[in-house]
Amino acid sequence: MNDVRIRRIVIVGGGTAGWMAAALLARALGPLVEIRLIESDAIGIVGVGEATIPQIRLVNQFLGLDEDAVLRATQGTFKLGIQFNDWRRIGDSYLHAFGDIGLPLGLLAFQHYWLRSRTRAAIGSALPAVAGSTGAADVQGRTSAAGLWAYSLNATAAMANRFARIDQVGSSPINGTKHAYHLDATLYGKYLRRHSDARTVRRTEGRIVDVRLRAEDGFIESVVLESGETVAGDLFIDCSGFRGLLIEEALQAGYESWQHWLPCDRALAVPSARVEPMRPYTQASARPAGWQWRIPLQHRTGNGHVYCSAFMSDDEAASLLLANLEGEALAAPRPLRFTAGMRRRTWSRNCVALGLAAGFMEPLESTSIHLVQSGVSRLLALFPDRHCDPVLSAEYNRQTRFEYERIRDFLILHYRATERSDTPFWRHCAQIEMPDSLLRKIALFRCSGQIVRDGDELFTEGSWLQVMLGQGIEPARHHPLAEGITSAQLDEFLANIRTLIGRAVESMPDHARFVAEHCKAEAPG
Tell me the mean pLDDT in the region 7-14: 97
Q: Does the domain spanning 8-80+183-254+340-388 belong to CATH 3.50.50.60?
A: yes
Q: What is the DSSP letter of 146?
A: P
Q: Where are the domains of the chain?
A: 8-80+183-254+340-388, 98-179+420-512, 266-337
pLDDT at 47 > cutoff 90: no
pLDDT given at position 199: 84
Residues 6 or more apart in contact with residue 496 via CB below 8 angstroms: none
* pLDDT of the residue at 198: 82
**Annotated catalytic sites, by residue?**
79
Give the per-residue pLDDT at 41.
82
DSSP state of 460: -
Strands 266-273 and 334-337, by their bridges, are: antiparallel
Cα–Cα distance for residue pair 309/432, rounded to 1 Å: 17
Q: Compute the average pLDDT of residues 190-212.
A: 93
Q: What is the 8-class DSSP label of residue 168?
A: B
Integer Cα distance of 286 and 84 in angstroms: 8
Assess contact for 176 and 169: CB atoms under 8 A. Answer: yes
Per-residue CA distances from 64 to 16, 17, 51 (Å):
17, 18, 21
Contact 180, 54 (CB under 8 A): yes
Examine the pLDDT at 363 and tell me if it is beyond 90: yes
What digits encode the pLDDT tens for the residues 375-401? 999 999 999 999 999 999 999 999 999
Q: Per-residue pLDDT for 234 more than 50?
A: yes
CA distance 438 to 431: 14
Nearest to 56 by CA among 168, 179, 157: 179
Residue 403: partners with Cβ closer than 8 Å, 6 or more residues away = 371, 374, 456, 457, 458
Q: Decide if pLDDT at 141 tops 70.
A: no
Mean pLDDT of 411-415: 98
Tens digit of pLDDT for each residue in 154-190?
Answer: 999 999 999 999 999 999 999 999 999 999 999 999 9
Contact 270, 276 (CB under 8 A): no
Contact 231, 38 (CB under 8 A): yes
Q: Tell whether the model's pLDDT for residue 139 goes beyond 50.
A: no
| Cα distance from N-terminal residue to C-terminal residue, the chain | 57
Alpha-carbon separation of residue 99 from 55, 57, 70, 274 (angstroms): 12, 14, 22, 27
Query: What are the residue ranges of helices labelled H in 338-431?
Result: 368-381, 390-416, 424-429
Q: What does DSSP assign to residue 284?
A: E
DSSP state of 329: B
Q: Inform me whether the pLDDT recorded for 127 exceeds 70.
A: no
DSSP characters over 59-120: HHHHTT--HHHHHHHTT-EEE-EEEEESSSSTT-EEEEESS--S--BTTB-HHHHHHHHHHH
Strand partners, 302: 271, 295
Residues 192, 20: contact at Cβ < 8 Å?
yes
Predicted model pTM: 0.94
What order of strands is seen across the sheet that includes strand 341-343?
A: 255-257, 341-343, 359-360
CB neighbourhood size of 354 (10 A): 27
